[in-house]
Copies of this chain bind each other. A is one copy, B any other.
Amino acid sequence: MSKQEQDTLEGLAAQLGCYSPLVREPLSGEQAGELSRLFKAMGDPVRLRLLSLIASHAGGEACVCDLTEVFDLSAPTISHHLKVLREAGLITGERRATWVYYRIEPDVLEALAAVLVPAAPDTVPDGLNTTRPEARRELPVVEA
């Protein structure tokens, strides 16, 4: 992974952790954009299975060669899907000798899960959520 990707990744989970649950208050356009990139990355059955295969694989990581043989798809196609997952920040890849191993970023998955439910208060501290007016400027509050 590139240095830039690493930088992006490190802040991703923390950033998502700052999002209030979907049901608590309207998402800003910016928040929706970032979250939708993650959901879009998971919006493909092949990528979802790849994610699951990597996550559930012994040792928490899986070689690309293990993943390719499960699907009736060409290696470049699998590589493409892995790239999408990687660029979304859901997985990281590392080359060791001949093989490339992928592992998931559990923090990102957990943060994503936290967005979907009315999380407990300690999951989304008030001081970190997005009730700051400047973070919501793009989305007018809609009253009945």
A interface, CB within 8 angstroms of B = 22-27, 29, 32-33, 35-37, 39-49, 51-53, 55-59, 62-63, 66-67, 69-70, 104, 106, 109-110, 112-114, 116-117, 139-140, 142-144
Contact = CB atoms under 8 A, between A and B. Distances in A.
A142 B39 contact: no
A104 B49 contact: no
A112 B110 CA distance: 12
Contacts of A117: 109-110, 113
B27 A36 contact: no
Contact of A42 (B39, B55, B66, B70): B39
A63 B24 CA distance: 18
Contact of A59 (B25, B44, B144): B144
B58 A23 contact: no
Contacts of A22: 48, 51-52, 55-56, 109
Contacts of A26: 49, 52-53, 56, 70
A53 B142 contact: yes
A59 B36 CA distance: 25
A43 B43 CA distance: 7
Contact of A112 (B58, B106, B116): B116
A44 B40 contact: yes
A120 B16 CA distance: 22
